[in-house]
């Protein structure tokens, strides 16, 4: 598992997503950032790639519930 070290601002720059979109994907349980002791979200490079993939699939017409099933399936295989 990748170390979670990036702030939401850096992730925003790397993905082109807004902070609102990133938080929405977290709320829909599509990405699971860590938290700093102060409660700030911390993301890994793996999370960044996941966010890019989620955004791409959402643009292709996928719904969050479909993506959540896919992600759950991937997590059970690891």
CATH of the domain at 21: 1.10.1660.10
Classify residue 60: in a domain, yes or no.
Answer: yes
Ramachandran area for residue 29 (φ above 0: left; ψ -120 to 50: alpha; else beta): left
pLDDT number for residue 59: 93
Classify residue 1: in a domain, yes or no.
Answer: no
CB atoms within 10 A of CB 15: 19
Classify residue 28: in a domain, yes or no.
Answer: yes
Task: Please tell me the total count of domains within the chain.
Answer: 1
Average pLDDT over residues 54-58: 95
Choice between 22 and 69, residue whose per-residue pLDDT is larger: 22
Choice between 70 and 11, residue whose per-residue pLDDT is larger: 11
Classify residue 16: in a domain, yes or no.
Answer: yes
Classify residue 13: in a domain, yes or no.
Answer: yes
Q: What is the pTM of this model?
A: 0.85
Give me the domain span that covers residue 18.
8-77
Classify residue 3: in a domain, yes or no.
Answer: no
Percent of the chain with pLDDT over 90: 82
């Amino acid at each position: 598992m990748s170390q979670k070290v990036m702030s939401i601002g850096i992730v925003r720059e790397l993905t082109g997503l807004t902070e609102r979109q990133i938080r929405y994907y977290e709320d829909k349980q599509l990405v699971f950032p860590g938290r700093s002791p102060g409660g700030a979200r911390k993301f890994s490079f793996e999370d960044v790639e996941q966010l890019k993939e989620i955004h791409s699939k959402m643009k292709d017409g996928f719904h969050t519930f479909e993506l959540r099933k896919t992600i759950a399936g991937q997590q059970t295989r690891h």
